[in-house]
Structure 1
Amino acid sequence: MGYAVVLGEALVDLLDTESDGGPVFRQAVGGGPLNVAVGIARLGGAVQFVGSLGDDVLAGRIRDLLAAERVGTAGTVTAPVPTTLAVTTFAGPEPDFRFYGDPPSYSLLTADDVDATLVEGADVLCCGSIVLLAPTTLAAARRAWSLAPGLRVFDPNVRPRLLDGPQALAELRGVVAEFAAGAHLVKLSTADAELLYPGEPVESVAAYLREVGAGTVVVTLGPEGAVVAAAGADPVRVPARRVAAVDATGAGDSVMAALVADLLVDGEPAEPGGWTERVAFALRVAGLVCERPGGAVAMPTRAQVRERFTG
């Protein structure tokens, strides 16, 4: 089994909660791509995280977590800026993010910083998320995408509060089409689909992304499961197991982590039904994540998934 490279942001989430009857923020290392990297590692995959980190105590905690989870950091760079904070509030289990830090610590990886040898040796490259909105890191993602000889997977992971009007959304829509055209797998949420392609059913969004070039498209639907559109088959819906969700932070990231971890073991499924089975497993991973607070720290092992969802 080879290794995956995950390129994207790492930051610190400040999660709104209570202590002794008063509001407090609980600190947690996060960022969608970082969550994916940790999730891959906990599911038994070898993985390298590529991105830019700040130079403060919080960045040290990010590095410590990655080291503890056996996520490689050979492709990370350090920038002389504070770590970006994502203040996270909840309406039910679904998180709402507001980002603080200028310039964002995650936005300073340049195309020249991309370790070509690291990317060229990977079996899977995973790109996407909010680094696509910063010109510097978008250029870095494009370079990595062009270098990757193996499987390329993509997740737009849209954050509406970072989009400055209709023009920014239109530009992001173009970037999504660009990366989808060269992707073996695209994973996005129903919220991503609704923002990028308003008024379109998720099956139509999946079909469109396949038409522009994506090999397989998975659209997560929260507690309703996911839609899978694979070559040679009509889109199908895969149901999710029912869980008592307390925090959906990182749930979509865990779906991507599970899919990448299985790509590292067995490559792409030979038949569309193989994708359905893999997505069903990924949804069980996400269900367990939703039953735990936090993002990266909520990622489970395969043994924990089997124990939680027997039968």
Structure 2
Amino acid sequence: MGYAVVLGEALVDLLDTECDGEPVYRQAVGGGPLNVAVCVARLGGAVQFVGSLGDDALAGRIRDFLAGAGVGLAGAVTVAAPTALAVATFAGPEPDFRFYGEPPSYGLLGPDDLDADLVAGADVLYCGSIVLLQPSVLAAARRAWALAGGLRVLDPNVRPRLLDGPAALAGLREIVAEFAAGAHLVKLSAADAKLLYPGEPEEGVAAYLRELGAGTVVVTLGAAGAVVAAAGADPVRVPAPKVEAVDATGAGDSVMGALVADLLTDGEPAAPAGWHERVAFALRVAALVCESPGGATAMPTRAEVLARFAR
């Protein structure tokens, strides 16, 4: 089995909570791509994280966490910046993230920082999330996309707080279209779809991204499951298991992580039904993540998923 490269951000989440009746922030290693990388490793896949990390104690904790999870750091670079923070508050089912750190430690990877051999040799390359809003990392992602010799997967992972008005949203929409055109798999959430393509049903968004050139598109719908649009078939809704959700942090990332892990093991499915089965498994992974607090720390092993949802 080969390996995956996950190019994106790693940062520290500060999660709004309480201790002894007082409001406090719980520190957690985070970042959508970091969650994806950890999920791949927990499910038995070999994975390398590529991104820029700060030069402080928090960055050391990120490195230690990734190494402990079995994620390789050969493509990670250290930059002269404090680790960026994402402060998460919970007023509804989805956390509201506000980002702190200028320049952001995750936004300082440049195209010349890439290990070209590492990227070109990967069986799966993941790009996406908020690093695509940083010109330097966007250039690095474009170079990685061109170098990729294996499967290319994209997750926009849109954070509205980082979009400064309609022009920024239009720019991101163009970036998503650019990467989707060369992607074997695009995964996005219903919230991403609503922001990028307002008024379009999820099936329509999936069909549109396939028309741009994406091989398969998965739109996650939270507790309602996911829409799957694969070549040769109309979009299909795949249901999610019913669970009592404790914390949905990282659930969408775990769907992508599970799909990447299966791409590493078996490549692309030969027929749409194969994608439907894989998404069904990925939704079981996400359901298990939702049953535990934390994002990256909640990523399960394959054996845990099979035990929890034994057929």
In structure 1, the residue corresponding to 2:90 is in which secondary structure? strand
- Once residues 6 and 301 of structure 2 are traced to their aligned partners in structure 1, the CA distance between those partners, rounded to angstroms, is 19
Structure 2 equivalent of residue 256 of structure 1: 256
What percentage of aligned pairs have identical amino acids? 81
> Which residue type is aligned with residue 74 of structure 2?
A
Structure 2: gaps of 5 or more residues: none
Taking structure 1 as the reference length, the TM-score comes to 0.99
The CA distance in 1 between the partners of 2:42 and 2:92, in whole Å, is 27
Counterpart residue number, 2:266: 266
What residue identity is the alignment partner of 1:201? P
Paired amino acid for 1:131: V
Partners of 1:294 and 1:127 lie apart in 2 by: 23
Post-superposition shift, 1:276? 0.2
CA distance in 2, matches of 1:92, 1:204: 26
| Deviation, structure 1 residue 297 | 0.6
Deviations 1:255-292 (A, max 9, x none): 00000000000000000000000000000000011111
For the pair 1:80 / 2:86, whether they are aligned, the reply is no
Matches within 5 A, 1:90-129: 90-129=90-129
* 1:241 aligned partner: 241
| Cα distance in 2, alignment partners of residues 118 and 101 from structure 1 | 29
TM-score by length of 2: 0.99
Question: How much has 1:91 moved relative to structure 2?
Answer: 2.3
Q: Which amino acid aligns with 1:23?
A: P
- Partner residue in 2 for 1:131: 131
Q: Distance in 1 between matches of 2:217 and 2:176?
A: 13
The whole-number CA distance in structure 2 between the counterparts of 1:161 and 1:185 is: 26
Contact 1:6–1:50 (Cα < 8 Å) also in 2? yes
- The residue number in structure 2 matching 1:197 is 197
CA contact (8 A) 1:93 1:246 kept: no
Provide the C-alpha distance between the structure 1 equivalents of 2:94 and 2:128, rounded to a whole number of angstroms. Answer: 21
SS of corresponding position for 1:75: strand
* Inter-partner Cα distance in structure 2 for 1:17 and 1:286: 22
Distance of 1:305 and 1:121 partners within structure 2: 29
Question: Structure 1, residues 93-141: CA drift from partner, whole Å, max 9, x if none?
Answer: 4211000000000000000001100001100000000000010000000
Residues 276-287 of structure 1: pairs in structure 2 closer than 5 A: 276-287=276-287
Runs of 4+ in structure 1 off by over 6 angstroms are none
Tell me the distance in 2 between the aligned counterparts of 1:25 and 1:291: 21
Distance 2:103 2:182 in 1: 30
Q: Deviations over 1:41-79 (max 9, x none)?
A: 000000000000000000000000011011000101101
Supply the distance in 2 between the matched residues of 1:160 and 1:47 (Cα, whole angstroms): 29
C-alpha contact 1:93 1:245 (8 A) present in aligned 2: no
Aligned twin of 1:164: 164
Q: In the TM superposition, what is the alpha-carbon distance from 1:27 to its structure 2 partner?
A: 0.5
SS in 2 for 1:4: strand
CA distance in 2 between partners of 1:96 and 1:168 (Å): 19
Secondary structure at the residue paired with 2:97? strand
Q: Distance in 2 between matches of 1:246 and 1:90?
A: 12
Q: Could you report, residue by residue, the CA deviation over 1:288-309 in whole angstroms, capped at 9, with x for unpaired residues?
A: 1111111111100001111111
Alignment of 1:1-311 (within 5 A): 1-311=1-311
Letter in 1 for 2:303: A
Kept in 2: contact 1:245–1:287 (CA 8 A): yes
Q: Alignment RMSD, CA only?
A: 0.6
Q: How many residues align?
A: 311
> Hey, what's the Cα distance between the residues in 2 that align with 1:91 and 1:42?
30
Determine the C-alpha separation between the residues in 2 that align with 1:241 and 1:249.
17
Return the alpha-carbon distance in structure 2 between the equivalents of residues 23 and 253 of structure 1.
27
Supply the distance in 2 between the matched residues of 1:89 and 1:294 (Cα, whole angstroms).
Answer: 14
Query: In 2, distance between residues paired with 1:249 and 1:118?
Result: 29
Amino acid across the alignment from 2:219: V
SS across alignment from 1:35? helix
CA distance in structure 2 between the partners assigned to 1:96 and 1:245 by the alignment:
17
Matched-pair contact (CA < 8 Å) for 1:94–1:247: no
Runs of 5+ unmatched residues, structure 1: none
CA–CA distance in 2 between the matches of 1:239 and 1:43? 21
